[in-house]
C-alpha cells in the first residue's frame, strides 16, 4: 500500500471563454481553455466512483491533452461521470482512461484510491494519486489494486 501526502490548491471554475493558445516550449501548444480546467474535482467526503480522463481542445491542432480526475457520489456508474463531465467541458472533448473508487475521509485527511470500472477498465491509480496529491497536500493518499 502506498502512502502519500497531498496538498490543496484552489482551482476556480472552468470557463471556455478564451480559446487562444500559448506556446509551451518543447511541450507544444496548450489551449488556455484547456489549462483552466481543474485537474481534480471530487466530492468532499465519502466513498464514490471516479474516472481518469484525457481532455482535448478539439478546435486546435497539435495541442497536448491534459489528464483530469473526476469523482462524484451522485453518479451510480462511471459512465454517468463521463456523461456529466463531457457536457460540462464543451467545447472541449474528453476520453475516459479508466476508473475506480475513492474513499475520501476529510476528518482524518485521508484519501484511498482503489478498484476498477467495469465499463472503462482500471485507471492508473498512481496518476490519479499524483493529481490528487497536488489538490490535497495535507492528506495521506493511499493506492491499492485490491477491491471493487
- The proportion of the chain whose per-residue pLDDT surpasses 90, expressed as a percent, equals 66
Cα–Cα distance for residue pair 87/81, rounded to 1 Å:
10
Q: What is the pLDDT of residues 28-49, one digit of tens each?
A: 455 668 889 999 999 999 999 9
Of 63, 55, 39, residue with least CA distance to 135: 39
As given in the structure block, the three cell numbers for residue 47 are 466513498
Q: Would strands 46-56 and 66-72 be described as parallel, antiparallel, or unpaired?
A: antiparallel
Query: What ranges do the domains of the chain cover?
Result: 4-143
Residue 64 pLDDT more than 90?
Answer: no
Catalytic residues: 78
pLDDT at position 21 is 29
Local confidence band at 11 (pLDDT 50, 70, 90 cut-offs): very low
Record the pTM.
0.78
- DSSP helix/strand/coil, 67: strand
The domain 4-143 having CATH identifier 3.50.20.20: the answer here is yes
Cα–Cα distance for residue pair 43/147, rounded to 1 Å:
20
* DSSP symbol at 21: E
Q: Where are the alpha helices (DSSP H) in 60-121?
A: 78-88
Residue 122 pLDDT more than 90?
Answer: yes
Q: What is the pLDDT of residues 84-112, one digit of tens each?
A: 999 999 999 999 999 999 999 999 999 99
pLDDT at position 6 is 37
Phi, psi torsion values for 88, nearest 5 degrees:
-70, -30
Residue 76 pLDDT more than 50?
Answer: yes
Q: What is the pLDDT of residues 46-62, one digit of tens each?
A: 999 999 999 999 888 88
Local confidence band at 77 (pLDDT 50, 70, 90 cut-offs): very high
Residue 22 pLDDT more than 80?
Answer: no
Which position has the grid cell 469523482? 71
As given in the structure block, the three cell numbers for residue 9 are 490548491
Mean pLDDT of the 12-18 span: 36
As given in the structure block, the three cell numbers for residue 111 are 484519501
49: annotated binding-site residue? yes
Amino acid at each position: 500500500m502506498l502512502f502519500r501526502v497531498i496538498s490543496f490548491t484552489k482551482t476556480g471554475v472552468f470557463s471556455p471563454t478564451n480559446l487562444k493558445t500559448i506556446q509551451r516550449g518543447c511541450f507544444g501548444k496548450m489551449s488556455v481553455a484547456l489549462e483552466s480546467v481543474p485537474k481534480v474535482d471530487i466530492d468532499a467526503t465519502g466513498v464514490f466512483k471516479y474516472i481518469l480522463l484525457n481532455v482535448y481542445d478539439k478546435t486546435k491542432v497539435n495541442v497536448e491533452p491534459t489528464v483530469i480526475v473526476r469523482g462524484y457520489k451522485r453518479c451510480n456508474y462511471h459512465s454517468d461521470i463521463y456523461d456529466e463531465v463531457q457536457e460540462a467541458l464543451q467545447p472541449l472533448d474528453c476520453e475516459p482512461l479508466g476508473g475506480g473508487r475513492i474513499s475520501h475521509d476529510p476528518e482524518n485527511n485521508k484519501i484511498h484510491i482503489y478498484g476498477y470500472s467495469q465499463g472503462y477498465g482500471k485507471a492508473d491509480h498512481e496518476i490519479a494519486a499524483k493529481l490528487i496529491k497536488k489538490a490535497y497536500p495535507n492528506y495521506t493518499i493511499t493506492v491499492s489494486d485490491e477491491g471493487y
